[in-house]
Chains A and B, each alone.
Chain A
Amino acid sequence: MSCNRMENRILPYVDGRLKAGEMKEMEAHLKTCAACELRVNEFRALSGLLDELPRIEPSGAFDARVRARVAAEPVKQSWWSVFAPSPRVAFAASMLLLATVWFGSRPNETLAPTNTGIEQEAQVVSDLPVLENMDVLSNFDALSDLPQPVSDESNQQQQQQQPDTNTEM
């Protein structure tokens, strides 16, 4: 097997991350290839060198700063929250409902004319015999022969004239 094909396997071999079959191939190649064996040893030494760099620890205020930034994040509202009633909307809706119930419980004035209309209609029905004879009554000539009703003023004049005549006598 050529060294070129082995190149990409050197690092996984050093890491111990090769599959069992690949591991066997690699070990067989290393037994016959001094250059690749040298490369493997150098990569192992390099890995050890990189381990020498110490780790750093985050500063003491790191967590507090992250928490402060998280706390400052605006509260995310879901799309459905648009339909969730706010206190103001709930108050307005309840007041509207109360007003509707109150107006509904009041006696309906607009219905009153309808009731009187029914009463008037009932009165008309009760006067139906008179109405049926209205033509006869309106054209009844005998009524015109009746003496004209005397008005109150002429009655008073007559009463005033009568005492005068009594005194003359």
Chain B
Amino acid sequence: MLDVKAGDDESFALLLHRYRSPLVNFLYRMVRNREQAEDLAQEVFIRVYRAREEYVPSAKFTTWLFRIATNLALNSVRDTRHQRMELSLDAPVTTDAEDGDEKTLDVADKHPDIEQHLVEEARKKMIRHAIDKLPEKQRAAVLLHKYQELDYNEIAKILECSESALKSLLFRAYETLRVELAPLVAGAKS
């Protein structure tokens, strides 16, 4: 990032290449819409570019990056909450594919083992649904902890709370998920 600050465009291209996938995945799991996630990820990179001259390496770059991303995601989720509720009432039955291309359930799919495929899809959907139901801050904490594998102190800085408060937040979030996914957890444990 210091090279980007010095005006090195190649270094910005490296940052883009390195962080685009983690950012888009994090944002997609926050807002549950691929197009919106990519728009937000672009906005994150633009904000990083704009702020490059003021960047002070007081914290890890990933902390700064995901702090911008988390704030954008939380604002977006809050802004579109009402719209999402309206859409979900009218939404057709779909497989809610992870790649974001919502495919209508096709029984005549040419999958070799259609039953197993459907079970797997239902399982994934249940997990996604459980994550989606978490309060926004808990969801962000789980995603940063589980999928970005950030340290507790980094996540605490991103969410602007103390490390002990973050541990309590994460414990409550995982407890909720454990209860929501109890049938799957019991099956996975045995």
Contacts and interface: CB of A to CB of B under 8 A. Distances in A.
Interface in B118-152: 123-124, 127-128, 131, 142, 146-147, 151-152
B171 A58 contact: no
A149 interface: no
A113 interface: no
B189 A45 contact: yes
Given A8-B167, A46-B177, A62 B24 contact: yes
A73 B151 CA distance: 34
Contact of A11 (B20, B38, B167, B188): B167
Interface residues of A, number: 33
A53 B185 contact: no
A56 B167 CA distance: 28
Greatest chain B CB density within 10 A among A45, A46, A59, A69 is at: A46
A42 B45 contact: no
Given A8-B171, A63-B16, A52 B123 contact: yes
In terms of DSSP, what is the predominant structure of the interface of chain A?
Answer: helix
Contacts, number: 101
B185 A42 contact: yes
Given A17-B152, A58-B24, A53 B49 contact: no
Interface of B: 12-13, 16-17, 20-21, 24-25, 28-29, 34, 38, 41-42, 45-46, 49-50, 53, 98-100, 123-124, 127-128, 131, 142, 146-147, 151-152, 164, 167-168, 170-171, 174, 177-178, 181, 184-186, 188-189
Interface of A: 7-8, 10-12, 17, 41-50, 52-59, 62-63, 65-67, 69-70, 73, 76
